[in-house]
Amino acid sequence: MSRLVTERTFLAGKIFFNFGQSSIDCVVRRLSEEAATLEMESGLGVPERFQLRLAGRESLACRVVWRADRQVGVAFEQPGGEHPTGEERDRSSDALMRGQMLALRAALDHVPTGIVLLDTHLRARLINRSFRQMWHLPDEVADSNPSILTLLHHGRDIGAYEVPDPALDAHVRERVRVIEAGDPTPVDVRRTNGDVVRVQCTPLPDGGRMLTYTPVTDIVRASDELKLLRDALENVQDGVLLLDSSLNASFMNLRMRRFWEVSEEEAAARPAYAWLVSRAHRASAPDLPANELAKFPTKRVAEVMAGDHVRDLQTPDGRRIRAHCTTMSNGGRMLTYVDITDLNNKATMLERLATTDPLTGLFNRRHFLGALDAEWSRFQRYYRSVSVLMLDIDHFKSVNDRYGHAVGDEAIKAVAAACNEGKRKSDLVGRIGGEEFAVLLPETSLSRAKLVAERIRKRAMATRLNAHQVQFGVTVSIGIAEATVGMSGIDALMGAADQALYQAKDEGRNRCVAWTPEPPASKAAE
């Protein structure tokens, strides 16, 4: 058989078998004296032995050494089936080994990971196709058994490393040091095109090294995005707690760690949410009775397990926390804690401004009428008694004229205090006008309302005021009315109490008068 020069080529060939009756077109990718690598549409139909015919060359008897999806490696056999000599057997054994090497090369060329096999002198004895494409390494360089330094300098020279120019040589030296040491620690190398390659060195038994270059761009980007998100969540003003499906803490930002008073180490141990809420009384339902505090942690865990909700919590020092619970796609929960103490205080202040009289601190006319309307609805639905007192400061104009408006304001505040002191806990006092007040008495009959009215009158009369080194007192007149079925609404009830008030003034002031409905017309005629 004529000698063939080892080469990497793309020769057209044809495989003949079945006594020349069947054939398969192929391309010869590698050719040597003893072996070749053939490529075809499918390697499955290629028999174990066949004849290979190349353009301008004699037919070669071939035996399949290895197979892949679209490639086969073959060794050439002696023509005529003659018994091989010892030299020929050695050549055949060598061809088998070469064939196996070709099979290994072919297999490594099909993996997406870049692979470089280095000998003991750190020179490349195999560089697969993925590495060549990854680093744009020409075949003539890859096939010249380059040193690892040559390969690294190639990456440097084509500007592939995302490393500042002054640090490039140091980067190359460090990579050589790691490979010489056989350090297996993976290193992520960022490329200027935005890709990230994970490089790992594995020492080989013969003293060489295997370098693997795995594309991990998507993984690293996801990791970078996750780190960015964690860094952002770590520094937000709201508390953030991520729980897995078992309600164990998978992430707890700085604000949340401070709230629960746990260290970074404790947070990293993925503590159970049940442990967090039960280890210390950090927050509970607002105004929860003491006997209910011990039960709250269990209820809170059940709430979070149930899923999405918003819950307002209160800390022992009086702060208000709004907790949002959101169910995650993985079955876990995200809890966010927002301190709404200031907002709650402002809302309370705005509500107080909208519902109270600024001079006396009593409810204003609008809020008083709203409360009376609600009680009137209960009276109509359940026939529960409701009564109203109307108060007016006697001779208030004389107080203003004699002592001035500042003293008049003091008189108004003194009567307001008398109303607050004389009313019951369930009663509601409002300032209706300048010196006019009203008291709402829920579920109170006329007889009981008279007792409250008399108590307020006496407290007002006992009040002493000082003006211009003169001490004086004030009195009030009070009208009392109880709701009746015949009344049309709260205006009628207020009108009845007002009518009784004017009757008290007509009768000499400083007294309480109860309204009585007029008798039916027939009774009046008798």
> Which residue in 354, 432, 434, 352 sits closest to 388, CA to CA?
432
> Which residue in 81, 87, 93, 76 sits closest to 30, CA to CA?
76
pLDDT score of 317 more than 60: yes
pLDDT score of 275 more than 80: yes
**Three-class DSSP category at 152:** helix
Asked if residues 375 and 487 have their Cβ atoms less than 8 Å apart, the reply is: no
Torsion of the alpha carbons at 487, 491, 497 and 500, rounded to the nearest 10: -80
495-502 CB contacts, 8 Å cutoff, 24+ apart: 496/388, 497/388, 497/389, 497/390, 497/438, 498/390, 500/390, 501/390, 501/391, 501/392, 501/477
Q: What is the pLDDT of residues 70-99, one digit of tens each?
A: 888 889 887 655 555 656 555 555 555 555
Q: What is the pLDDT of residues 428-471, one digit of tens each?
A: 999 998 999 999 999 999 999 999 999 999 999 999 998 878 88
> Which residue in 101, 48, 54 sits closest to 77, CA to CA?
48
Instruction: Give percent above pLDDT 70 in the chain.
Output: 87
Q: Quote the pTM value.
A: 0.44
> Which residue in 201, 209, 206, 210 sits closest to 175, CA to CA?
201
Q: What is the mean pLDDT of residues 365-375?
A: 93
Q: Which of 137-151, 223-237, 489-503 has the lowest mean pLDDT?
A: 223-237
Q: Which helix (H) or strand (E) holds 335?
A: strand 333-339
Q: What is the mean pLDDT of residues 385-406?
A: 91
pLDDT score of 250 more than 50: yes
Tokens of 49: 């032995």
The answer to whether 39 is a known catalytic residue is no
Q: What is the pLDDT of residue 524?
A: 46
Q: What is the mean pLDDT of residues 155-175?
A: 88
Alpha-carbon distance 234 to 257, whole Å? 10
DSSP for 164-233 reads -GGGHHHHHHHHHHHHHHT----EEEEBTTS-EEEEEEEE-TTS-EEEEEEE-HHHHHHHHHHHHHHHHH
Predicted confidence band of residue 1 (pLDDT cuts 50, 70, 90): very low
Higher-pLDDT residue of 160 and 4 is: 160
Torsion of the alpha carbons at 400, 405, 406 and 410, rounded to the nearest 10: 50
Instruction: Return mean pLDDT, the chain.
Output: 85
Q: What is the pLDDT of residue 102?
A: 60
Q: What is the mean pLDDT of residues 144-168?
A: 89
Task: Indicate the pairing of strand 209-215 with strand 470-473.
Answer: unpaired
Asked if residues 512 and 388 have their Cβ atoms less than 8 Å apart, the reply is: no
**Segment of 20-24, 166-170, 475-479 carrying the highest mean pLDDT:** 475-479
pLDDT score of 235 more than 70: no
Q: What is the pLDDT of residue 67?
A: 84
Q: What is the mean pLDDT of residues 137-163?
A: 90
pLDDT score of 289 more than 90: no
Active-site entry in 77, 375, 410, 435: 435
CB-CB neighbours of 2 under 10 Å: 7
Predicted confidence band of residue 110 (pLDDT cuts 50, 70, 90): confident
Q: What is the pLDDT of residue 517?
A: 84
CB-CB neighbours of 166 under 10 Å: 7
pLDDT score of 424 more than 70: yes
Alpha-carbon distance 20 to 396, whole Å? 132
Q: What is the pLDDT of residue 256?
A: 87
> Which residue in 310, 308, 309, 314 sits closest to 296, CA to CA?
314
Predicted confidence band of residue 224 (pLDDT cuts 50, 70, 90): low
Q: What's at 300, amino acid-wise?
A: R
Predicted confidence band of residue 137 (pLDDT cuts 50, 70, 90): very high
**Segment of 8-17, 26-35, 364-373 carrying the highest mean pLDDT:** 364-373
Q: What is the mean pLDDT of residues 127-142?
A: 90
